[in-house]
């Protein structure tokens, strides 16, 4: 089903109001980062009750998304009313690609993000991701063009340069082209597990007037609060922290049992692939189960086997009726958006 034939129109919300409201509360925006394979509709549904304010899609290759119906079916599924605020992140290498993608999804999300942070070699070789931080004029042109093609806010996610001056200049240029907010991962494209440079994020925040989001090594609510204190940022974005504990922003130290039950129930409703179900469960349980228990879990190769294993911990078989009533109503009315 093409997005244009969905049964119920999505009423897109005001993404930037989330930043305004959190600022007025003296708080910060809690954001689920784009995660390859993981941050699709089922995982976004899992996160929503646990104080996650904004959720990103996985990075989507813009030209494939626009040209191929099959790509759209695979890459983007959503629901009206419930799956929001949602930011769709695109990889693009020229203004036309990003503009076409932004126009295509304008009625189906709350924001568009340009990925200038992916450090993987294939992405950089294709002119995507971190390659773009060395081509600020292209970033300027892409954001400017996309803003003329959609009414949605356009944001940019970057990694830092080797120097403060280069990073600050990049941030200022991104602000100048009309980006609504900027997400900064505090490592360079060549860095993987080195400590995050929060000082450079602080200096970016001090240099621009648009909201700045910090990304990197926020694995608990306590760490997120510390990052805000160190940098003064408007939001904190995390990926691995939420994979290990989807209730992290709610203040839980490890994944609560109710969260595991919700994941089982979501699979009952949506029926997505076993590998996705199992992989995310494995991430969620690694800090909950003992090493021996995890070894047992990792040997399981069927949904029935997993459910039997989980029953020993008080997890019941999937029941969509335990989910938010609106999810079930929408699914029953076939308002499932598939782009």
Within 8 A by CB and 6+ apart from 293, the residues are: none
User: How many whole angstroms separate alpha carbon 30 and alpha carbon 119?
Assistant: 23
From the list 1, 105, 115, 109, the residue with the least C-alpha distance to 61 is: 115
Within 8 A by CB and 6+ apart from 258, the residues are: none
Q: Please, are residues 219 and 238 in contact by the beta-carbon 8 Å criterion?
A: yes
Given the residues 118, 177, 259, 328, select the one marked as catalytic: 118
Alpha carbons within 13 angstroms on the beta-carbon side of residue 116 total 33
3-class SS shares of the chain: helix, strand, coil, % to 5: 50, 15, 40
Q: What angle do CA 256, 258, 264 make, to 5 degrees?
A: 115
| Residue 118 annotated as catalytic | yes
Q: Give SS3 for 54.
A: strand
User: How many whole angstroms separate alpha carbon 224 and alpha carbon 4?
Assistant: 39
Catalytic residues: 118
């Amino acid at each position: 089903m093409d997005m244009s034939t969905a049964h119920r129109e999505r009423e897109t919300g005001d993404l930037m109001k989330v930043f305004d409201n959190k600022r007025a509360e003296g708080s910060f925006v809690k954001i689920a980062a784009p995660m390859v394979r993981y941050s699709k509709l089922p995982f976004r549904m899992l996160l929503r009750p646990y104080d996650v304010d904004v959720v990103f899609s996985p990075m989507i290759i813009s030209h494939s998304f626009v040209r191929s119906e099959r790509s759209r079916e695979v890459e983007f599924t959503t629901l009206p009313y419930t799956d929001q605020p949602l930011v769709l992140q695109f990889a693009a290498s020229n203004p036309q690609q990003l503009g076409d993608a932004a126009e295509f999804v304008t009625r189906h999300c709350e924001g568009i993000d340009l990925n200038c942070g992916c450090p993987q070699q294939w992405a950089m070789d294709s002119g995507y991701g971190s390659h773009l931080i060395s081509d600020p004029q292209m970033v300027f042109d892409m954001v400017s063009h996309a803003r003329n093609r959609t009414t949605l806010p356009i944001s940019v996610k970057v990694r830092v340069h080797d120097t403060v001056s280069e990073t600050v200049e990049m941030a200022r240029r991104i602000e100048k082209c009309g980006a609504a907010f900027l997400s900064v991962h505090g490592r360079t494209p060549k860095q993987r597990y080195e400590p995050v440079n929060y000082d450079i994020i602080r200096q970016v925040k001090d240099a621009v007037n648009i909201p700045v989001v910090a990304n990197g090594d926020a694995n608990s609510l306590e760490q997120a609060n510390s990052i805000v204190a160190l940098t003064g940022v408007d939001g904190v974005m995390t990926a691995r922290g939420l994979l290990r504990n989807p209730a992290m922003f709610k203040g839980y130290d490890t994944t609560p049992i109710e969260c595991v039950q919700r994941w089982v129930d979501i699979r009952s409703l949506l029926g997505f692939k076993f590998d996705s179900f199992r992989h995310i469960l494995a991430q969620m349980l690694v800090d909950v189960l003992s090493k021996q228990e995890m070894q047992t879990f990792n040997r399981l190769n069927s949904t029935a086997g997993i459910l039997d294993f989980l029953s020993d911990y008080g997890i019941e078989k999937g029941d969509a009726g335990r989910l938010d009533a609106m999810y079930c109503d929408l699914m029953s009315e076939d308002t499932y958006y598939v782009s």
